[in-house]
Amino acid sequence: MIRLIRGFRDILPEHTGLWALVEGVARELLENFGFSEIRLPVLEHTELFARGIGADTDIVEKEMYTFTDRNGDLLTLRPEATAGVVRSYVEHGFCASAPVQKLYTMGPMFRRERPQRGRYRQFYQINAEVLGVQSPLADAQLLVLVHEFFSRLGVTDAAVHVNSLGCPNCRNPYKEELKSYLAAKSGRLCQNCLRRKETNPLRVLDCKSEQCAEAVAGAPSMTDWLCDACRDHFAAVLSAAESQGVALVLDPRLVRGLDYYTRTTFEVRTSALGAQNAVAGGGRYDGLVQLLGGPPRPGIGFAVGVDRLVEILAAQKGYPQKCPDVYFACLGDAAKKAGFSLAAGLARAGVAAEMDFDGAGLKGQMKRAGKSGARFVVILGEDELAGQKAQVRNLKTKEQTEQPMEGLVESLARRVKEEKDNG
Ligand code: AMP
């Protein structure tokens, strides 16, 4: 038997209903908030991610699936979506022709991380990006959208953590201050952070190791160092989001390590996930469009981790069971043919209908009908065909009636609708 690759998994039919529900809610909300879908390839030139994510990040250093194509091109399976969205924005000339773009995309991302619960090597994200808008209302709108998304799905303990990373003007002096703070704590930092405190000191702030968390407990906060413009921007983001009932947790330890990340940064966390507690993350990247070869254009976006979100929802409410509305139990070839045609007619009329193709005995077929969770079972045998009638049994009430074959599709469709309307 050939098995799955480690860290990869199949999303099985009994689970895909919940995935589709999550994606459907996201799609509807994003469209209502004025976003348009963009679909991008999963394979890009490696250079895009090396530049767009940053060469000295874990993702680019250790986690990318990269290979040389037959023509010598160096290609990578996308580890995230933003770089691809920005590449497309620049490549199609939107920077000049229509610089304000609100885009979303959904699909698989690939990172060769150490697999564990909530962490896979192929995982799925829903991404939203706003390009060409500097206004704090764009940041606030994303926060409102994210908040609405989680509450609509019934995730009650999602906390939106938010911080501002300022701009290079105010962040550089802050970094120097942070470096000298960290220099005094050298003895208490992990190996990784001993290196990072020089190259990427912000990253030390969100190191997961306990000793580093203790060491940075009294570190200076970026928000105390914001320049006037960044402070005003952040205040406007918070007040606009809060005016819409979004509860925010101000979190000075929330950072992103790269220079093109600016101002607002946020993360949605839930207690339901254990170690991998982040279910969505986002922020401003005002330097990225330029870094990827475009003119200076601001941008902000977020990514929701669908695998983790589905896991939370499944733990809360289980996976919704998919049941046909009508199940056909047919005895004999002629009845099977009639059932086949009725089931197709119902499916065309928007009613989920299923039939037992091979079932021989009535007992076995009725058992399967019951197991399928169908509301109605239609029984067709020789007698029924001769009389042009069918037995229709309501599996909930156990009530069974005889119905003429003529107009059966319409009458069943009506009854299914009535049952659904009555819950
Ligand atoms: P990031 O692009 O790293 O900011 O991640 C955004 C979201 O994607 C996270 O909050 C997670 O929910 C999800 N995510 C990131 N990496 C993985 C992974 N390896 N497996 C599952 N979900 C992930």
Helix-strand-coil split of the chain, %, nearest 5: 45, 20, 35
Q: Which residues line ligand 1 (CB under 6 A)?
A: 80, 111, 113, 118-120, 123, 125, 278-281, 303, 305, 307-308
Whether 259 contacts 288, CB under 8 Å: no
The amino acid sitting at 373 is: G
Q: What is the DSSP letter of 63?
A: I
Tokens, residue 413? 């469709």
- Residue 406: strand, helix, or coil: coil
For residue 384, what pLDDT is reported?
94
Q: Which atom of ligand 1 is nearest to the CA of 113?
A: 19
Give nearest CA residue, ligand 1 atom 17: 119
For residue 272, what pLDDT is reported?
81
Give nearest CA residue, ligand 1 atom 14: 305
Q: What's the N-to-C CA distance of the chain in angstroms?
A: 45
Query: Among 276, 288, 302, which residue has the most ligand 1 atoms within 8 Å of its CB, making it the best to mutate?
Result: 276
- Would you say domain 13-167+227-317 falls under CATH 3.30.930.10? yes
Q: Which position has the token pair 């770089």?
A: 83
For residue 54, what pLDDT is reported?
84
47 Cβ contact partners less than 8 Å away, ≥ 6 residues apart: 74
pTM: 0.93
Query: Among 62, 123, 146, 288, which residue has the most ligand 1 atoms within 8 Å of its CB, making it the best to mutate?
Result: 123
For residue 324, what pLDDT is reported?
96
Q: Phi and psi for 196 in degrees, rounded to 5?
A: -70, -25
Per-residue pLDDT of the chain (423 residues; tens, 9 = 90+): 999 999 999 999 999 999 999 999 999 999 999 999 999 999 999 999 999 988 878 888 899 999 999 999 999 999 999 999 999 999 999 999 999 999 999 999 999 999 998 999 999 999 999 999 999 999 999 999 999 999 999 998 899 999 999 999 999 999 999 999 999 998 899 998 998 888 889 989 988 888 999 999 999 999 999 999 999 999 999 999 999 999 999 999 998 767 788 999 999 999 887 766 899 999 999 999 999 999 999 999 999 999 999 999 999 999 999 999 999 999 999 999 999 999 999 999 999 999 989 877 999 999 999 999 999 999 999 999 999 999 999 999 999 999 999 999 999 999 999 988 987
Strand blocks (E) in 190-259: 248-250
Whether 278 contacts 289, CB under 8 Å: no
Give the bridge partners for 376, in sequence order: 326, 394
Q: Per-residue pLDDT tens for 176-213?
A: 999 999 999 988 999 989 988 888 899 899 888 889 99
Task: Enumerate helices (H) and strands (E) in the chain, giving the number of each.
Answer: 17, 16
d(CA 101, CA 18): 29
d(CA 72, CA 95): 31
Distance 81 CA to ligand 1 centre (A): 11
Strands 278-284 and 101-110, bridge-based pairing? unpaired
Q: Phi and psi for 282 in degrees, rounded to 5?
A: -170, 180
Q: Within 10 A of 91 (CB to CB), how many other CB atoms are there?
A: 12
Domain 13-167+227-317 identical in fold to domain 326-414: no
Tokens, residue 232? 């005003």
Nearest Cα to 50, choosing from 99, 19, 16, 83?
83
For residue 273, what pLDDT is reported?
77
Distance 321 CA to ligand 1 centre (A): 27
Query: Among 307, 309, 311, which residue has the most ligand 1 atoms within 8 Å of its CB, making it the best to mutate?
Result: 307
143 Cβ contact partners less than 8 Å away, ≥ 6 residues apart: 160, 162, 237, 241, 246, 248, 266
d(CA 43, CA 51): 15
- CATH code: domain 326-414 is 3.40.50.800
Tokens, residue 219? 């570190």
Q: Per-residue pLDDT tens for 92-143?
A: 999 999 999 999 999 999 999 999 989 999 999 999 999 999 999 999 999 9
Q: Per-residue pLDDT tens for 384-409?
A: 999 999 999 999 999 999 999 999 99
Distance 64 CA to ligand 1 centre (A): 14
Q: What is the DSSP letter of 188?
A: G
The DSSP secondary structure of 166-187, one letter per residue, reads --HHHHHHHHHHHHHHHHTTGG
Nearest Cα to 392, choosing from 423, 414, 371?
414
For residue 360, what pLDDT is reported?
77
Domain ranges across the chain: 13-167+227-317, 326-414
Whether 325 contacts 333, CB under 8 Å: no
For residue 192, what pLDDT is reported?
86
For residue 257, what pLDDT is reported?
65
Strand blocks (E) in 165-275: 248-250, 262-269
- Residue 409: strand, helix, or coil: helix
